[in-house]
Structure 1
Amino acid sequence: MSLLRSARFPAIILLAAAILALVLANSPLGPEIAAVKDTYVGVPGVLELSVGHWVQDGLLAVFFFIVAVELQYELTNGELNSARKALQPAIAAAGGVIVPIGVFLLFAAGSEAVDGWPIPTATDIAFALGVLAVFGRGLPSGIRIFLLALAILDDIVGIVFIAVLFTNDVDMGLLAVAAIVVVVFGVLSRQLDTRGRVPIAIVLGVLAIATWVLVYKSGVHATIAGVALGLAMAQRPALRTRHELEPWVNGIVLPLFAFSAALVVIPSVSPAQLSPAFWGILVALPVGKIIGISVAGWISLRVGNRGATPHLSLADLLAAGALGGIGFTVSLLLSELAFAGEPLLRDEATLGVLGGSAISIVLAAVLVAQRARHYRRVRPASRDEELPPQDVAEGQIA
């Protein structure tokens, strides 16, 4: 289990799952695997989803639960618990959202692909911290803190996009009932440290499932149920639950989602025939993120309180920007949602996410390794300044 809580190994599993899916989708087994993904299972007439949607809407809600738990902690006790601490990463995160959208629209404006503009705004914290752990030995801890805060703010943006942009025909009655159940869940979770844990935990599990069903039936994307439950749960039991779920999310949930999302047949066309969705995402993730995060972060150093956050050079910000371009998990989900009714565009957008994230991984590895060499050269890193895998894992979202 310790391997699945580390920063490096889960990123390797995710990448392997995506590569395997691409290979199988373009092999003679591809149609059979796609048929399994499209097979409907559940209770007919009550709740019946395809295997792919059970992964996307069901299992991924658990991932968003632990994202929300991390967010709750950072907003109350961590790196975002005051405006002073959050100022620099917030400005950098804004640049890392706005510029990729602008880059994507340069390619897609006026085409049917324009609805994919939210896709290149996400940062995959698991991959980013994995690259940082592998190539960043000797980096000051301030860079990791900055990246963690930046990625959490990116996750907030992604959650808002999912909740607002991909919600159709909302049943306000069911949503109100879901909200009541979430409140009961939050209140009851505060009894875990004072009363019998097992009976309360069982009831909480039932309430969590009920919340998911209600949110799904209401028309809001079901992963928002995980966000609501993670924010509502009492912090101490929430952190314990997150710790227990983390290996399962890293080892099963995210790889299954990566495999399902990457089951894409590569089009047999020339590059010129690929849609603007592909090219916009392919460029916006590595280029848009680097420009947006580094420029906005550099501006924040000059308009904010310099003592509020660790000082970062422009070269540090470039490395953080490259790490921010690793969109992967949330970008794949946004691709599925943005082009849900257009399979060809969805597949090309998925290829753009995989390609753009791969470019960002390479760029980030080079830039992070260069900065790590620089800091090791100018001063030997103390134990507090290094990035041990266990410390990285403690801050890792998934």
Structure 2
Amino acid sequence: MRISPNPLRGQQFPAVLLLVAAGLGLLFANLPTHDGLAAFLDFHIAVPGTDLDLSISHWVSDGLLAVFFLMVAIELRHELTHGELDSPRKALQPAIAAAGGVLIPIAVYLLIAGGDSSTSSGWPIPTATDIAFALGVLAMFGRGLPSTVRVFLLALAILDDIIGIIFIAVVFTDDVQWLQLGLAIVGVAVFWLLSRLLHAKGHTIIAVAMVIVGLVTWGLMYSSGIHATIAGVLLGLVMAPVPAGRTRHALEPTVNGAILPIFAFVAAFVVIPELSISELSPAFWAIVVALPVGKIIGISLFGWIAMRIRPKGADPALPFGDILAAGALGGIGFTVSLLLSNLAFDGDPGIRDQAILGVLVGSLIALVLSMIIVSARARFYRRTAAVSS
């Protein structure tokens, strides 16, 4: 009997699960169940003997999401060493497109909300692309598209993730505790050494030691004042290739089926403000416009320029229609944009909630737009293939 593949290792089902989880979070936040769930998410859990005392919502965004970033970092390292970004020739074109997909949304955001000191700090929010969501939409609606579109989108989204990680580490960090940070770096070094030993010897006790060191490193990173998800990034980047690949394979169903949906639910748990359209924060409008419009313009324009100046011997240029499809998919910010919203407006819950709503609305617009463009391009390729055959 043939065993069906685990849908949580695919691209379509996890994307649907994310959307449903975010929808449920928004729904339950605006039902009479709000107060009970809000109290539960605000309930604090402390780790005795440490300064770790976080609400459940922060355990999700700082703790569980670090596992997601660990998996992202493992994929980043693979792509940078053996994948679609392992040479300057391969990386140049998506890098230029990714630059446009960051610079233009920032410009759009600042044009709309940059004049207000209470909202100007949100400029990193529309720079992110949700890899899982974008690839899921591509898989659902892109039957017939050449594989080069997926390769271009994957490289683009990975570079976006690198930029998002830099923003989290640099822009939203202040009052760094250097001793804890230094100890966290030592923890990363020990983790690196243990991963090499695991690769060479394969003993279970080494794997257990790696888990313990990873948890301690996460706690030290949190105590240092740098966002704790950066610990996941660093640990994923230094892990030896074979253990890293096995770790990613083992974590993928849990991340796709539990961690990301839980985060999406918690992040989208916001009360829709009882305001008229004219009373909504500029941050809301800036994100709603910058994600779908800024991304598609930035990626398409810079991607088209990149294809015109590609180096000699590079792969054939993507047609502009394919770049346009990738640009539309890039506007689905979602996971990292939700995290950036929480970081950018941590001290202003009112604007933070409107920014989160802006991410949901902007990503939904980008989702619909990308479905239309990707479907149209896929139909074009299927018709072309039918005529040529």
Task: Give the TM bin, normalised by the shorter chain.
Answer: over 0.9
Matched-pair contact (CA < 8 Å) for 2:325–2:370: yes
Correspondence for 1:3: 7
Correspondence for 1:213: 219
Matched-pair contact (CA < 8 Å) for 1:136–1:368: yes
Quote how far apart the aligned CAs of 1:339 are.
Answer: 0.3
Q: Of 367, 371, 380, which aligns to 1:365?
A: 371
**Offset from partner CA, 1:172-199 (integer Å, 9 cap, x none):** 1111111111111112101223324311
Quote how far apart the aligned CAs of 1:311 are.
Answer: 2.1
Q: Of 67, 87, 97, which aligns to 2:72?
A: 67
TM-score normalized by the length of structure 1: 0.94
Correspondence for 2:176: 170
Of residues 190-199 and 156-165 in structure 1, the stretch that sits farther from structure 2 once superposed is: 190-199
* Letter paired with 2:255: V
Q: Of 77, 80, 92, which aligns to 2:82?
A: 77
CA RMSD of aligned residues (A): 1.4
Quote how far apart the aligned CAs of 1:310 are.
Answer: 4.4
For residues 66 and 387 of structure 2, the distance between their equivalents in structure 1, rounded to whole angstroms, comes to 39
* Letter paired with 1:260: V
Q: Of 41, 48, 52, which aligns to 2:45?
A: 41
1:12 aligns with 2:6: no
| 1:243-392 → structure 2 map (5 Å cutoff) | 243-305=249-311, 307-379=313-385
For residues 249 and 310 of structure 1, the distance between their equivalents in structure 2, rounded to whole angstroms, comes to 35
For residues 15 and 34 of structure 2, the distance between their equivalents in structure 1, rounded to whole angstroms, comes to 24
Where do 5+ consecutive residues of structure 1 fail to align?
383-398
For residues 365 and 375 of structure 2, the distance between their equivalents in structure 1, rounded to whole angstroms, comes to 16
DSSP 3-state at the match of 2:119: helix
Matched-pair contact (CA < 8 Å) for 1:8–1:133: yes
For residues 35 and 123 of structure 2, the distance between their equivalents in structure 1, rounded to whole angstroms, comes to 30
Correspondence for 1:192: 198
For residues 29 and 246 of structure 2, the distance between their equivalents in structure 1, rounded to whole angstroms, comes to 38
* 4+ aligned runs moved over 3 Å, structure 1: none
DSSP 3-state at the match of 1:49: strand
1:55 aligns with 2:60: yes
Of residues 318-327 and 166-175 in structure 1, the stretch that sits farther from structure 2 once superposed is: 166-175
Matched-pair contact (CA < 8 Å) for 2:199–2:240: no
For residues 68 and 291 of structure 1, the distance between their equivalents in structure 2, rounded to whole angstroms, comes to 28
CA change 1:193–1:343 in 2 (3 A) is: same
For residues 264 and 39 of structure 2, the distance between their equivalents in structure 1, rounded to whole angstroms, comes to 17
Higher relative contact order (CA 8 A, sep 6+): 1
Correspondence for 2:146: 140
Where do 5+ consecutive residues of structure 2 fail to align?
none
